[in-house]
């Protein structure tokens, strides 16, 4: 039996994304965003949704560029701090002893200590209500060498392992292999 929880902003799991921007004075800033995800393959695009009250909002509009750093599950404390404190009040990179590395392809900083980094150019901004959805085109994906599989692909057991559980306000780690995509469905026996 399914129990209705009503209309809620819910999906699970959702990755914790750290959105990096330079503010109007060129100071690097980073915020936590769990509302968003991949939204196009060609061109490769990812969306993040940001409240107008965030310091990041203005920076996104001004610079038209951002990065997304994906924290490891061990970096939950760091990610939560980044989601609790505003760059309007404090330099979060300095407070956390993090390195604000300059994007190679876009005018935005990223967290050098994170295992995965995406660099994006802002392509669309869609007003949705509480949040504005910013769609960025992915210009580069960087993965720490020890987080790659022997084939040179991002290893799910080691990258992007930190997820946020909406409604519960808790963090979870994931990364267990289940099955191969676009393959396991072919072994399913039709019931009709
Ligand atoms: C796990 C987590 C997820 C969050 N997701 C979002 C989000 O998707 N959009 C948003 O506007 N704020 C989100 N926040 C809140 C912002 O990260 C927070 O307001 C932050 O202080 C904004 O930073 P800034 O003012 O430096 O831009 C989230 C916070 C946490 C802890």
Residues with CB under 6 A from ligand 1: 16, 29, 31-35, 49-51, 54-56, 80, 83, 85-88, 131, 164
Amino acid 177: pLDDT:
83
Q: 55: left (phi > 0), else alpha (psi -120 to 50), else beta? A: alpha
Q: How confident is the model over 153-187, as pLDDT tens digits?
A: 999 888 867 999 999 999 999 778 889 999 999 99
Q: How confident is the model over 125-139, as pLDDT tens digits?
A: 999 999 999 999 999
Q: Is residue 57 part of a domain?
A: yes
Which of 21, 34, 71, 130 to probe ligand 1 with, by most ligand atoms within 8 A of CB? 34
Q: Is residue 4 part of a domain?
A: no
pLDDT band for 141, please (50, 70, 90 cuts). very high
In three-state secondary structure terms, 87 is coil
Residue bearing tokens 């970096």: 75
Count of positions (residues) in the chain: 192
Q: Which of 164, 154, 159 is nearest to 83 (CA)?
A: 164
Q: Is residue 7 part of a domain?
A: no
Q: Is residue 69 part of a domain?
A: yes
Q: Which of 70, 45, 60, 17 is nearest to 137 (CA)?
A: 45
Q: Is residue 1 part of a domain?
A: no
Task: Please give the helix or strand (H or E) that residue 165 lies within, else none.
Answer: strand 162-165
**Which positions ≥6 away from 14 have C-beta within 8 Å?**
34, 35, 37, 163, 164, 166
Q: Is residue 9 part of a domain?
A: no
Q: How confident is the model over 157-166, as pLDDT tens digits?
A: 888 679 999 9
Q: How many domains does one find in the chain?
A: 1
Amino acid 112: pLDDT:
98
Amino acid 157: pLDDT:
85
Q: Domain with 90 in it: what CATH number?
A: 2.30.110.10
In three-state secondary structure terms, 163 is strand
Can you tell me the distance from the alpha carbon of 64 to that of 134, in angstroms, rounded to the nearest whole number? 10
Range of the domain at 108: 14-187
Q: Is residue 83 part of a domain?
A: yes
Q: Considering the entire predicted model, what is its pTM?
A: 0.97
Q: Is residue 61 part of a domain?
A: yes
> Which atom of ligand 1 lies closest to the CA of 169?
1
Mean pLDDT for 91-115 is 98
């Amino acid at each position: 039996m399914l129990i209705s929880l009503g209309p809620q902003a819910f999906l699970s799991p959702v990755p914790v994304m750290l959105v990096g921007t330079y503010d109007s004075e060129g100071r690097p800033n980073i915020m936590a965003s769990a509302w968003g995800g991949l939204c196009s393959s060609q061109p490769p695009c990812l969306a993040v949704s940001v409240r107008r009250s965030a310091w990041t909002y203005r920076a996104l509009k001004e610079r038209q560029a951002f990065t997304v750093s994906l924290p490891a599950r061990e970096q939950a404390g760091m990610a939560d701090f980044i989601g609790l404190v505003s760059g309007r009040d404090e330099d979060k990179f300095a407070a956390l002893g993090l390195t604000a590395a300059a994007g190679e392809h876009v005018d935005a900083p990223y967290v050098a200590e994170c295992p995965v980094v995406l660099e994006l150019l802002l392509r669309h901004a869609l007003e949705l209500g509480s949040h504005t959805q910013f769609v960025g085109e992915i210009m580069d994906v960087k993965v720490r060498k020890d987080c790659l599989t022997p084939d040179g692909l991002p290893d799910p057991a080691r990258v992007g392992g930190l997820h946020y559980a909406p409604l519960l306000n808790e963090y979870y780690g994931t990364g267990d292999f289940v099955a191969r995509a676009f393959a396991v469905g072919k072994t399913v026996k039709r019931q009709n």
